[in-house]
Amino acid sequence: EDKVVQSPLSLVVHEGDTVTLNCSYEVTNFRSLLWYKQEKKAPTFLFMLTSSGIEKKSGRLSSILDKKELFSILNITATQTGDSAVYLCAVEADRGSTLGRLYFGRGTQLTVWP
């Protein structure tokens, strides 16, 4: 049973395009949602979101969380070939009195052609 679902699974665009990656989730005791970028190696952290409606930005990347509808989007504007990677969404959930754990989606493979 998937707790974190990302769409699309694969996306091919040309440089300069804007892309929107989606992440929906279903977990109890939600704590935070995280986005990672993975380029043939370990994931690197992009954003952590805990509150609805507050956009986080870093350069051409931005992300927002909707805790009512249980989803998040990651936007990348003016894409570059260096943006080609797998983008992973993860949700942190509490486990009662113990510390939380992360549930990952399958990722979106983004390919940016020059």
Partner 1 sequence: NAGVTQTPKFQVLKTGQSMTLQCAQDMNHEYMSWYRQDPGMGLRLIHYSVGAGITDQGEVPNGYNVSRSTTEDFPLRLLSAAPSQTSVYFCASSLTSPNTQYFGPGTRLTVL
**Contacts with partner 1, residue ranges (CB under 8 A):** 4, 6, 9, 31-32, 34, 41-45, 48, 88, 90, 92, 98-107
Q: How far is the CB of 114 from partner 1 (least distance, A)?
A: 25
Closer to partner 1 by CB, 51 or 77: give it. Answer: 51
Closer to partner 1 by CB, 4 or 64: give it. Answer: 4
Q: Is the dihedral of CA 67, 100, 7, 37 positive or negative?
A: positive
Closer to partner 1 by CB, 34 or 76: give it. Answer: 34
Give SS3 for 82: helix
> Rounded to 5 degrees, what angle do the CA atoms 18, 65, 19 make?
10
- Residue 11's H or E segment, with its range, is strand 10-14
